[in-house]
Structure 1
Amino acid sequence: MTARPLRIGLYGLVGSGNLGNDASLDAMLAHLRDRYPDAEIDALTDAPDGARARWGIRATPMHWNRGEYRTADTPVLVARKVLGKLVDAVRVPLWVARKDAVVMSGSGAFEVTLPLRSWGTPYTQFLVCVSGRLLGTRVGLVSVGADDVRPPVMRALFLAAARSVTYLSYRGEHARDSMRRMGLRERGDRVFPDLVNALPVPPGPPGPTGVVGVGVLDFYGGNDDRARAEEVHARYVASMARVVDGILDRGREVRLLIGDQVDDRVVRLLREHVATRRPADLSRVHTEPAADVGELMRQLVAVDAVVATRFHNIVCALSAGRPTVSVCYARKSDELMVDAGLGAYRHRADTFDPETVLTQLDELLASADRMSADIARRAERDRTALAEQFALLDAALFPGVAAARPVSDPDIHPAPTA
């Protein structure tokens, strides 16, 4: 690396409306801009327009084929997808070669807990990581998720990517253990909290608000549930509707929370349920949109407790110190709840019993002050750990580069938007 500005690439599914992925990038960008204010930063993402608008950075489409996420049901579309993979095998390495370092911040880099195809994002991630190794560009995957992967092609792509990177850390012990079970040799990679924990928590009201947050997901199950996806979705929505009914029956209000724009569908279904079955209570169901995690956090600090499905709804609720019941779809959420001392308050999204969730919600609300204090202490521990991780990442990806200015405060502040 020379005296010229650092050239840093950001890779990932960012800018498309997934609040958790975008917030992880917020935290990473804040750190990079603080330490390397003159760096040239651009992104390789599935939503380049959104990335340019949100962060004011250059952005390149992740896939040459802009119809990558549509089903190829004609010979022409199939041929275009195949051609796209060949084109990406050239254009992605060219993008990597122009960088001093590439960073993937957070996200489920090695997960298949939701439907995923091998030759989609896993293939592009493989190209980024292996290109870095071959072309001399340092690549860091920071606080990423992982799970046991059965499809052999996807497993091979994940392992090749992990073996190629300069820096790799996980956001949970389960993620690291999963990669070891799949065949990744021990390389000293560490576990750190999710990057979203590095973002500041806004102040909340001084006392109880009488509102419970309900975080939803447009949930159709995982890869193994494709044949019965609609059935899984219908059961999930019906069970969440019963949770909403139970909260309203207890005289409390409900704030519906999302983690991605696609979750708006479930929000609409739940509001329609209330409007049809108990129209007088519709005014007690609040649904203000959250365009980013900052807005989501402002909503979370104004509730007394949370029932949530999306992983980053749970992360943010715990970061805000809110007692939480999880209705989750992945081991990462289970591990997060156990680490927060809430292991008894976790349920499977495809089979949970609404009445049990409501009973546990009552328990948490009855001891909210004590629970909130315990959760807040753990959140502060996580922020300290992430400050350590940023220092390790700098040493791995930018060795010998003088810091633009010394780090005087371990707190991470949100990246400014354009």
Structure 2
Amino acid sequence: MVDFSEFFRGIKKMPERPVKIGIFGNFGIGNFGNEATLEAMLNFLKRGAAEFELTCICTDPKRVQIEHGISAIPLNRAGPSLVRKLTNISYAIQTMRMLDLLIIPGTGILNDYCSPPFGMPYTLFRWCLAAKVSGAKIAFVSIGAGPLHHPLTRWFVKLAASMAGYRSYRNRFSKDYLKGLGLNTENDPVYPDLAFALPAPAPSNPQSAGTEPLKVCIGAMHYQGWRGHLEADAKIYENYLGKLKEFALWLLDRNNSVRLVMGDERDEKAVADLRRAILAERPSLLEGRLIAEPSRSREDVMRQMNDADVVISTRFHSIVFALMLGKPTVSIGYSDYHAELMEVLGLGAFCQHSDDFRVETLITQFTELASNRSRYEAQIRERVRSAREALADQEKLFSSNFIGSCVGRQ
């Protein structure tokens, strides 16, 4: 059992007013995984006994207010570069003086995917520093960390994480990565990704084992490498999409149907490009054999996946959503997070890296899953159940030992 006594010591007890909580993150940008994480954290807090007032500190507060029904403010204030940096420090401190607790929930916010040092890494550091100097507590809950390629990014992230009184990780890789930066993570627990606690729609009735044709979901991503728009390389995207096209054609030529799904609103381009490339080679494809509908939420994605027999996907949370539905899944991921997730769910043999995956291997992986769907479905559901139970344990511990003690400051 982790000892949190030092963390809770000195917190003033003022039960006469609710705990004021800020939830920090890259929310409101149309990334369904991020929004699922926020939704899960809100549900987490609402199930607790403590009274609280929430403010989301996020990228697009207007959208968060509309979609989640909570108060929200921006991460940064606008203005000339130098002035903005100075005023944003003051803005963060003024805000944190009105809050008791800053929670950074889930997501891969402690990595540098498509982010320079003075993007999200610095912004997170600034808000954690503001919380620290204001006397507010800081908690990282089921967070993802690493990799970090720039020395300044590593410095910002290490300092931000070191200011937290509570840290848990969504995988062992994240914990070990921060340990490698010199952070003491010995007493930090590892729990599943927060999204596993969300409700999932009732499972559909997929084809029975050995029945053909099959319905296959392919989660396409506008993937341009880890550095993405910072060091955009069109060849990475073209190569990635070309291989997905080759695999989709293989499926269609064997009378299977294919549904293309998004994991982020920015993936609409990838889905459209992939659909166009497939139809260019199979122009007489019958209606219904290739489906590509837009998605605007986590619920949309899960509804589309629910009809599938097998899922192949790239985005981390799209894989999580498929697993929550009990779908046999192949990961074509871009980080060690993906590989560890698949290993924990008993699917370690069904994982490739998006930079260099082989279509021949993908066909072999798909064939194995398709041929033994019932066995893999039962295994996945059992391990998802275990993930939900572990998250319930974290919720109980966090609510009783932390939220219940973290009461308002004068």
- TM (normalized to structure 2)? 0.90
* C-alpha RMSD of the superposition: 1.9
Equivalent pair of 1:213/1:303 in contact (CA under 8 Å) = yes
TM-aligned CA deviation for residue 131 of structure 1: 2.1
Equivalent pair of 1:326/1:347 in contact (CA under 8 Å) = yes
Is residue 107 from structure 1 mapped to residue 101 from structure 2 by the alignment? no
Equivalent pair of 1:9/1:99 in contact (CA under 8 Å) = yes
Aligned residue for 1:160? 159
Is residue 332 from structure 1 mapped to residue 337 from structure 2 by the alignment? yes
TM-aligned CA deviation for residue 244 of structure 1: 1.4
TM-aligned CA deviation for residue 138 of structure 1: 1.3
Equivalent pair of 1:110/1:146 in contact (CA under 8 Å) = yes
Over the matched positions of the two proteins, sequence identity in percent amounts to 32
Equivalent pair of 1:326/1:346 in contact (CA under 8 Å) = yes
Match of 2:254 among 250, 266, 270: 250
Aligned residue for 2:178? 179
Aligned residue for 2:97? 97
In the TM superposition, what are the counterparts of 1:261-340 in structure 2 within 5 Å?
261-281=265-285, 283=287, 284-340=289-345
Equivalent pair of 1:148/1:182 in contact (CA under 8 Å) = no
Structure 2 CA distance for aligned equivalents of residues 282 and 48 of structure 1: 43
How many positions carry a matched residue from both structures? 388
Tell me the SS of whatever aligns to 1:382: helix
In the TM superposition, what are the counterparts of 1:159-238 in structure 2 within 5 Å?
159-208=158-207, 210-223=214-227, 227=231, 229-238=233-242
Structure 2 CA distance for aligned equivalents of residues 162 and 54 of structure 1: 29
Aligned residue for 2:61? 48
Greater shift in the superposed pair: 325-334 or 203-212: 203-212
TM-aligned CA deviation for residue 281 of structure 1: 2.1
Report the CA distance shift for 1:15/1:185 in structure 2 as closer, same or farther (over 3 A).
Answer: same
Structure 2 CA distance for aligned equivalents of residues 282 and 328 of structure 1: 31
Aligned residue for 2:3? none
Structure 1 CA distance for aligned equivalents of residues 186 and 350 of structure 2: 34
Report the CA distance shift for 1:107/1:250 in structure 2 as closer, same or farther (over 3 A).
Answer: same
Aligned residue for 2:17? 4
Paired amino acid for 1:199: L
Structure 2 CA distance for aligned equivalents of residues 351 and 269 of structure 1: 20
Structure 2 CA distance for aligned equivalents of residues 360 and 292 of structure 1: 29
Structure 2 CA distance for aligned equivalents of residues 337 and 248 of structure 1: 26
Paired amino acid for 1:110: L
Which consecutive unaligned segments of at least 5 residues does structure 1 have?
A: 67-79, 403-418
In the TM superposition, what are the counterparts of 1:3-82 in structure 2 within 5 Å?
3-35=16-48, 38-65=51-78, 80-82=80-82
Report the CA distance shift for 1:40/1:219 in structure 2 as closer, same or farther (over 3 A).
Answer: same
Structure 1 CA distance for aligned equivalents of residues 145 and 130 of structure 2: 21
Report the CA distance shift for 1:48/1:224 in structure 2 as closer, same or farther (over 3 A).
Answer: closer
